[in-house]
Amino acid sequence: MIPTVEWRDGQVRILDQTALPGTVQFVDCVEYEAVVEAIRTLKVRGAPAIGVTAALGIALGAGQFQGTDPAAFQSWFIQVCDRLASTRPTAVNLFWAVERMKAVFAGEAGTPIAGIQARLREAAQAILEEDVRINHELGRHGAQMIRDGDHILTHCNAGALATAGYGTALGVVRAAWEDGKYIRVFADETRPVLQGARLTAWELQQDGIPVTLITDNMAGALMKQGKVHCCVVGADRIAANGDVANKIGTYSVAVLAKAHGIPFYVAAPASTIDMRTLTGEGIPIEERHPLEVTQVHGGPTIAPEGVEVWNPAFDVTPAKYITGIMTERGVFSPKDLAKHFG
């Protein structure tokens, strides 16, 4: 897979996911504000990828400081962190990464500015590499729940593109495929931004893993015909009680799965579990621009001029619909999160 995000020649290089699958192009960020813009405009998206990119953006921003005054450097650093943290509200991995970079900064008090800048670059790179390693571990645990011949329904893109590599939900798919299980993924197209059609279908096709694209409203009929054996989705934030925020439409899939007796799994790293948010009610849900709904991926307008639009980017699936949470530490019941991650 092409890296989602990486350090390259002192810059942050981001694969522009808004151009996929038609065009493979990159955004080379020389300044941290370009990273802020790339996250805001979904050039890079997916909870773990947002966290990793924010860490790289903070390191890039810290490196832009040219003065010699430690106090001025500290206020510059805080401003860079705040800008990155302001990009999107729902994925907790973003705030997790910002906190981690702040802790690195705090741990370097007294170090010359150039030393702190180098340390922040190393820390961001470590977060990136750790994400790939965690996804492999998560995939290995999650794949134990997948049987040979399973049809797996997924929603949105929780793949290599949504992480620094390998993916969470699609990491489970990849691990099952690498185990020699002959599986098939049904990818919901995921209106309005079409992450399923544009990204999940693309990356699975690249890897030669069987994938069938459906529109979101086909999932129920497919389940009724017995053609879905389990669902695996990613997460943007998991509350302490096991409620899960993920791409809008995930809740509908979970309810349908329950109605058809189909296991519904959430695959996410521990950094997505937010023990400070007690229930799904406390998860902030991003609302995005109406144009995402009144047009299909920037195409012609499909709705009457001036129509009111509601466009939440995420919804919350209550824990009672979730069979298990697949993490790098194992697969847990949503009810047991506090015991293992508290």
Task: For residue 236, state whether it binds ligand MRU (rule: CB under 6 A).
Answer: yes
Distance, CA of 342 to CA of 340 (rounded, Å):
6
Q: At what angle do helices 169-178 and 113-143 cross, to 10 degrees?
A: 60
What is the set of active-site residues? 236
Rg (CA), the chain: 20
Backbone angles phi, psi at 170, to 5 degrees: -80, -15
Size of the site for ligand MRU (CB under 6 A): 17
What is the nearest approach in angstroms of ligand MRU to the Cβ of residue 227? 22
Instruction: State the DSSP code for 230.
Output: E
Nearer to ligand MRU, 53 or 195 (CB): 195
Task: For residue 154, state whether it binds ligand MRU (rule: CB under 6 A).
Answer: no
Of residues 199-218, which lie at the interface with ligand MRU (CB under 6 A)? none
Task: For residue 163, state whether it binds ligand MRU (rule: CB under 6 A).
Answer: yes
What is the nearest approach in angstroms of ligand MRU to the Cβ of residue 22? 18
Of residues 69-108, which lie at the interface with ligand MRU (CB under 6 A)? 91
- 45-53, 99-107, 125-133, 323-331 -> range binding ligand MRU (CB under 6 A): 45-53
What is the nearest approach in angstroms of ligand MRU to the Cβ of residue 190? 8
Nearer to ligand MRU, 104 or 267 (CB): 267
Could you give the angle at the alpha carbon of 288 between the alpha carbons of 247 and 159, nearest 5°? Answer: 30
Other C-beta atoms within 10 Å of 291: how many? 12
Task: For residue 156, state whether it binds ligand MRU (rule: CB under 6 A).
Answer: yes
Nearer to ligand MRU, 121 or 174 (CB): 174
Could you give the angle at the alpha carbon of 178 between the alpha carbons of 172 and 179, nearest 5°? Answer: 90
Beta-strand pair 244-247/314-317:
antiparallel
Distance, CA of 23 to CA of 123 (rounded, Å):
31
Among 234, 242, 249, 334, binds ligand MRU (CB under 6 A): 234
Distance, CA of 326 to CA of 333 (rounded, Å):
9
Enumerate binding residues for ligand MRU (CB under 6 A): 45-48, 91, 156, 158, 162-163, 168, 195, 234-236, 246-247, 313
